């Protein structure tokens, strides 16, 4: 598995692409945290507070339409429910997921302390949003967020490998194979 490329400075061209992806102007973008293999922005790192001062705890925000559609497909297919159940039954998985949460908070709070200990995606106790978990895994690379990694692998297996996800993304066990 290749390591994530260095994060890129946000250009106006990047912001224009993200605006087209989202269908609105992006807010609080600090950097492009992940680009697809063809170089398109797919995950943005956002400020803990939006320009108007509104707290925004979602540090990594998924923008690529292929990935957002796949995250929604997984959510509607029950993947979050299965992952949340596994957190209750697997102490090792729960501990790794808690470490992902702590890493997320540390990175977010290094930018600006929000005074809150919650992160996106339902971390650390449940799985609430696969969009956030996929964005976190793609931004940080495999090994940081175990459930995000699983969702990325499911997306790769669903046909996004080599297009929105690196061709060498490591396979992991699917939660539906449990």
pLDDT tens, residue by residue, 58-100: 999 999 999 999 999 999 999 999 999 999 999 999 999 999 9
- Residue ranges of domains in the chain: 12-163
Q: In angstroms, rounded to a whole number, what is the distance separating the alpha carbons of residues 138 and 62?
A: 9
Residue 174 has pLDDT above 70, yes or no: no
Q: What is the pLDDT of residue 68?
A: 97
pTM of the model: 0.88
Residue 110 in 3-state DSSP?
A: helix
Q: What is the pLDDT of residue 171?
A: 57
Q: pLDDT grade, residue 7 (50/70/90)?
A: low
Q: What is the pLDDT of residue 2?
A: 41
Q: Quick one: tokens of 58?
A: 């979602």
Q: In angstroms, rounded to a whole number, what is the distance separating the alpha carbons of residues 67 and 114?
A: 28
Q: In angstroms, rounded to a whole number, what is the distance separating the alpha carbons of residues 59 and 30?
A: 10
Q: What is the pLDDT of residue 169?
A: 87
Q: What is the pLDDT of residue 121?
A: 76
């Amino acid at each position: 598995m290749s390591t994530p490329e260095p994060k890129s400075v946000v250009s106006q061209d990047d912001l224009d692409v993200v605006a087209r992806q989202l269908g609105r102007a992006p807010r609080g973008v600090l950097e492009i945290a992940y680009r697809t293999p063809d170089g398109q922005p797919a995950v943005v790192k956002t400020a803990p507070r939006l320009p108007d001062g509104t707290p925004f705890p979602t540090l990594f925000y998924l923008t690529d339409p292929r990935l957002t559609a796949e995250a929604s497909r997984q959510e509607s297919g029950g993947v979050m429910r299965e992952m949340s159940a596994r957190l209750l039954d697997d102490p090792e998985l729960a501990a790794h997921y808690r470490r992902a949460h702590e890493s997320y908070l540390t990175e977010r709070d290094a930018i600006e302390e929000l005074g809150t200990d919650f992160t996106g995606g339902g971390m650390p106790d449940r799985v609430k949003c696969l969009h956030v978990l996929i964005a976190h895994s793609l931004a940080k690379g495999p090994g940081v967020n175990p459930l995000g990694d699983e969702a990325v692998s499911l997306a790769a297996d669903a046909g996004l490998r080599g297009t929105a996800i690196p061709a060498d993304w490591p396979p992991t066990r699917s939660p539906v194979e449990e």
